[in-house]
Chain A
Amino acid sequence: MSSAGVSLKAGIDAKSKKRIELGYRGQQRIWMIVRMAILTAMVIFALFPVVWIVSASFNPKQSMVSQTLIPQGVENAEQLLRNYNTLLNTPRYPFWRWVANSVFIAAVTSFGTVMLCALSAYSFSRFRFWGRSNLLVFLLLVQVFPNILAVVAIYLILQQIGTHIPFIGLNTAGGLILVYLGGAMGVNIWLMKGFFDTVPRDIDESALVDGANHWQTYWLLIFPLVRPILVVVGILAFVGTFNEFALARVILRDNESWTLMVGLYTNFVSNNFGQNWGIYAAGSVLGSLPTLIIYLLLQDQIVGGLTQGAVKG
């Protein structure tokens, strides 16, 4: 059910059924054209730099400024794919290792964020308890702290804990995931709580009356209902983690344990400023694929909305 469609239906003060049919169709067509036009304009705005990056990734010249939309001076496939070739076939750039690290870290973080935040959000949304609103403000306020300096403390925590529990120490995926999870709690709990609030309370109250406990109500009833927002938070957490490099750079020290973003950044941006744009672009293009694939797979879940069956059942 679409809001615009519904609204159009609603906005028409009908007298003659036939006239309505005609007017409705015509108006709908105009609306559709307007919508298409706006969307197309947005797509151009969105994709223009992307096209540029993709073109840079095929440009053997390593220069962002001088490149043209269609790489010039490229005579053969070898030159066209030179950046990709360098990136994928240089032993000191373990590209696939980086991708694997990134996907692993992002996937675990994203899963953990969704599960933990959903639990908290359910509680904030459904229970009324002492200190609830203060706790909510607290969640928001800790996010406000300019945390550029917190890196020092986080580093020390991981280093000190890591001496005794190596798999969550420095230079490990486990440690980084913990850090990401901690940082992801605040905003995402808020986001999910807001969403849980929009789910009518009579749904779970009737279930509770029927003898289900809170856990069952949550897990069997509410959890499936809020799937769109779970997917949204999951994707947000995945992308955020996948593209993060400031923290990862401090915590992951070794070439082999780097995430994709750290690998690309340190080798092609911070080490040789402006000399490896093409390779960086190639890495970015390849690196954006996991996110796009996941989005493609899950996009129906996001906009799918509440299924009527679940609401009534």
Chain B
Amino acid sequence: MAKRAESPQGDSPSSIITLLLRYGALMLIDALALFLFYRLATDGVWELAVAIVLITLLVNVINLAPNLVPLRWISPSLALLLLMVVYPIIYTVYVSFTNYGDAHPYTKAQTIALILNEQIVGRSYSWAAYVRGEELGVMLIDEDGSLEFVAGNAAPRRVERVDGELPQEVDGYILDDSRGRRLRVVAQGTFGPADDPITVNRNLAIVVNEKTPRYIWDEAANTLTNVETGEVFRADDQRGWFIRADRYEEYLAAVEADPNARLGDFVMKTSQFPLQVGYRVVVGLQNFERFFNSPALRGPLVSIFLWTVTFAFMSVLLTFTVGLLIALLLQAKTPGRRIFRTLLIVPYALPALIAVVTWRGMLNDNFGVFTLWIIRPIEGLLGVDIPSFFADPTMARVGLLLVNLWLGYPYFMLVCSGALAGIPSDMYEAASVDGANWWQQFRSLTLPLLLVSVGPLLIASFTFNFNNFVMVEAYNEGGPPIAGAAFGAGHTDLLINYAFQIAFGTGRGADYGLASTVSIVIFMIVATITVFQKRFTRNWEETGRNV
């Protein structure tokens, strides 16, 4: 069969159209990619430009090389996956090696551009507004009181005061310095000749050509100089700050003394606004070192990890078992099963967020219906005291699993229904001829076949729940807190919630570098578990092939 596919020309006539379509689509994609590459490269966005070219090349190779036919079918999915999933992952890996975050938001070039935007105003005036019909004019009032008038594209010209006051009228322009008129002037913004314009803001009229950048960037010396004060700032490309040259030794000493010194504070104290913004640099493994030295790791990490695995495993087990059970029950001829089927899918149709918050309300200790109608009677019946869903660690975990079961079973109900329907009925007939009972059939036929298609989804569901950040945040923000922990954490915190607490709760603003590092570490853990689980997948695949 592979041979046939290798020679498309030999196929039936319809394949000529397919061929044309394929080349047409390919050309369109290539054109688009080339266009994007050109434009993005012009913008200086090289990473993305290169990524797009690489992906396009791959698609071309796959679709033109005769021995890669099977991949042709996959190429659209693959291209999308590479651009929208893999590229962001690579980007995250890159960020983990940088100090990208609130204090270092932009690249060095962007930061310098921001700083060079700062202007010294050479000549400026206070001003008054004049109007002639719809046209506006501006009277420039110099510090010494002398006047110049500018309107339209004409250059400013000197005007004399009338009795020490501003003239009421110049060239037919009438003085009207009301707030509304002044606003109109600001809205127009620019006056005078195009090559020597004057811009007007609320307070001042400024001769644009006499504006000069406040800072001069010296590429060779790697310094910025403030032309007004003469202060020199040296760029520290290792840490991404501009440091006052006369304090540089002091700064280095601070770094020497403590690699985690609060350099941001130092910079805040010793320089002024745009220079206080640090820039993004590659810091190597520093984020990984920080993570592995962080107080968080001396915190309740082990118990959080164990809970995360338990939560993910139990969530999958519960949702799958219940989903499969319902799918099996609905497969049998039960009266009203259409209605059952529809009603049971309703939780899936509702937005998860409102459901979680509703559950939170229902489990509330004081008013929650679940507590009042179910927990309290059980307490009365058994004569025990069941602790609150939000104060007791075990109950909080039980509650979280309960809510997650409610949210998740319809997914497996749907998937299992589809998969069960796909098992050819003649297999059952064969099995029943062999005399297998229901349980034997289920164990040796239904379940293995089901796991062929659903098995990988169990892994996917496991990893999804392993990182189910939103669910925990919406339900109880990880509470109740663990007493006496070295780093704040809660009993229902998952690894990812805890990790983001590390990355964003350090009191130094958001730290994307550290957060990316944490993502990668978690990825390593989950990936290991997944590869381990994948051994089962191989078994499933074999079962599938034997069918």
Contacts and interface: CB of A to CB of B under 8 A. Distances in A.
B309 to A, nearest CB: 14
B523 A145 contact: yes
A261 B341 CA distance: 25
A49 B353 CA distance: 12
Nearest to A11: B437
B88 A146 contact: no
Contacts, number: 380
B292 interface: no
Contact of B80 (A38, A48, A145, A181): A181
A164 B200 CA distance: 34
Given A46-B346, A137-B534, A123 B457 contact: no
Interface string A136-153: 010111111111111011
Contacts of B333: 2, 5
Given A50-B346, A246-B470, A35 B332 contact: yes
Main secondary structure on A side of the interface with B: helix
B436 A10 contact: yes
B15 A213 contact: yes
Interface stretch (B113-121, B137-145, B424-432): B424-432
A271 interface: no
B332 A144 contact: no
B367 A65 contact: yes
Contact of A116 (B12, B71, B80): B80
B530 A144 contact: yes
Contact of B340 (A6, A43, A148): A43
Given A6-B432, A129-B70, A164-B36, A199 B422 contact: yes
A80 interface: no
B343 A7 contact: no
Contact of A214 (B5, B467, B515, B519): B5
Nearest to A178: B84
A228 B418 CA distance: 5
Interface in A234-278: 235-236, 239, 243, 245-246, 261, 264-265, 269
Main secondary structure on B side of the interface with A: helix
Interface stretch (A15-23, A70-78, A89-97, A183-191): A183-191
A232 B48 CA distance: 35
B291 to A, nearest CB: 14
Nearest to A179: B84
Interface in B410-469: 410-411, 414-415, 417-425, 428-429, 431-432, 435-438, 441-442, 446, 449, 452-457, 459-460, 463, 467, 469
21 contacts: A7-B442, A10-B437, A46-B347, A49-B359, A66-B367, A142-B81, A142-B86, A146-B523, A147-B85, A149-B95, A153-B91, A154-B88, A178-B80, A199-B422, A213-B5, A229-B422, A243-B351, A291-B348, A302-B414, A302-B417, A302-B421
- Give 6 closest A-B pairs by Cβ, nearest first: A182-B84, A194-B453, A7-B438, A10-B432, A127-B70, A123-B73
Interface of B: 1-2, 4-5, 11-12, 14-15, 18, 32, 35-36, 39-40, 43, 45, 48, 68-74, 76-78, 80-81, 83-89, 91-92, 95, 322, 325-326, 328-335, 337-338, 340-355, 357-359, 361-362, 364, 366-370, 406, 410-411, 414-415, 417-425, 428-429, 431-432, 435-438, 441-442, 446, 449, 452-457, 459-460, 463, 467, 469-470, 496, 500, 512, 515-516, 519, 522-523, 526-527, 530-531, 534, 538, 540-541, 544-545, 547
